[in-house]
């Protein structure tokens, strides 16, 4: 009975059109930066105090270093990332025609390394991929998040939206319960942000390190006492693709700092 009611609700949500599908109205959208303390905001703004910049510089060094069996560096094909990579991070995930699936920025880098440098793809949360992702995304800092208009991504985003609205875990909460319905209110000592993904990979003071969006999402799932999906599950990129639409227009902040 309950399942049927839920299905009816989903159907209604589907009929309500694109405004509902994108979550918060554009005028209300705000980055998690806005709800941070002034000192954490200052840390993010100052490139000499933002610890994420250590990873950006590390990624810059890796960008020009030849690697893999092909003995080529990223820069040998792509040149100066500040020019060639400008805007790239604002429109990922994108559709990969070879794989026939959506691919986020970090995985795109891993695929490029595998296909063109013939180098190992590296662990998803390893320093190499995080640093390179931070460096590539940094080239788009300040540009608005702009979801790829490719229609092949639409079903991926739709699945992501359903995941965002699906209750999970022992606390039986969906992402939307907190980040759509209760943003700006308090959860313990912290302000609930809208949960946008416009600063990844980002430096979290709690982690004492730079981390990926997937790591953050795993934290949130553990927080509602749900079991996170396996690392290579398609759900991660589906959710990321929906978050991209939901946060469209917000400026990219990589490397953001968050408490």
The single residue among 23, 31, 58, 217 that binds other proteins, judged by CB under 8 A, is 58
Question: Site size for other proteins, by CB under 8 A?
Answer: 16
What order of strands is seen across the sheet that includes strand 202-204? Answer: 209-211, 202-204, 257-258
Q: Does 53 bind other proteins (CB under 8 A)?
A: yes
Residue 137 — left, alpha, or beta (φ > 0 → left; ψ -120 to 50 → alpha)? alpha
Q: Does 248 bind other proteins (CB under 8 A)?
A: no
Q: Does 123 bind other proteins (CB under 8 A)?
A: no
The single residue among 8, 11, 20, 61 that binds other proteins, judged by CB under 8 A, is 61
Q: Which of 74, 77, 178, 220 is catalytic?
A: 220
Q: Does 208 bind other proteins (CB under 8 A)?
A: yes
Residue with smaller CB distance to other proteins, 75 or 209: 209
| Rounded Cα gap, residues 211 and 76, in angstroms | 27
Give Cβ neighbours of residue 197 (< 8 Å, ≥ 6 apart): 213, 240, 243, 244, 247
220 is catalytic: yes
Rg of the Cα trace of the chain? 18
Q: Does 206 bind other proteins (CB under 8 A)?
A: no
Across 96-114, b (16+ Cβ under 10 Å) vs e yields: eeeeeebbbbbbbbbebbe
Residues lying near other proteins in the complex (CB under 8 A) are found at 47-49, 51, 53-55, 57-58, 61, 127, 131, 205, 208-210
Q: Which residues are catalytic?
A: 220
């Amino acid at each position: 009975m309950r399942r049927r009611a839920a299905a009816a609700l989903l159907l209604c949500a589907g009929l309500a059109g694109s405004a509902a599908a994108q979550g918060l109205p554009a005028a209300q959208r705000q980055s998690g930066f806005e709800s941070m303390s002034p000192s954490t905001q200052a840390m993010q703004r100052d490139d000499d105090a933002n610890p994420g910049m250590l990873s950006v510089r590390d990624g810059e060094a890796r960008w020009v270093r030849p690697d893999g069996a092909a003995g080529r560096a990223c820069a040998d094909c792509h040149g100066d990332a500040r020019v060639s990579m400008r805007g790239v991070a604002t429109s990922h995930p994108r559709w990969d025609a070879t794989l026939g699936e959506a691919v986020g920025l970090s995985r795109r880098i891993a695929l490029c390394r595998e296909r063109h440098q013939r180098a190992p793809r590296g662990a998803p949360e390893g320093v190499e991929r995080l640093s390179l992702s931070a460096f590539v995304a940094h080239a788009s800092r300040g540009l608005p998040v702009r979801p790829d208009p490719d229609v092949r991504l639409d079903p991926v985003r739709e699945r992501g939206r359903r995941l965002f609205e699906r209750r999970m875990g022992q606390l039986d909460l969906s992402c939307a319960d907190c980040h759509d319905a209760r943003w700006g209110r308090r959860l313990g000592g912290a302000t609930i942000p809208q949960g946008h993904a416009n600063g990844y990979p980002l430096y979290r003071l709690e982690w004492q390190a730079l981390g990926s969006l997937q790591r953050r999402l795993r934290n949130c799932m553990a927080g509602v006492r749900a079991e996170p999906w396996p690392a290579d599950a398609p759900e991660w990129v589906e959710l990321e693709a929906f978050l991209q639409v939901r946060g469209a227009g917000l400026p990219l902040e990589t490397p953001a700092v968050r408490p």
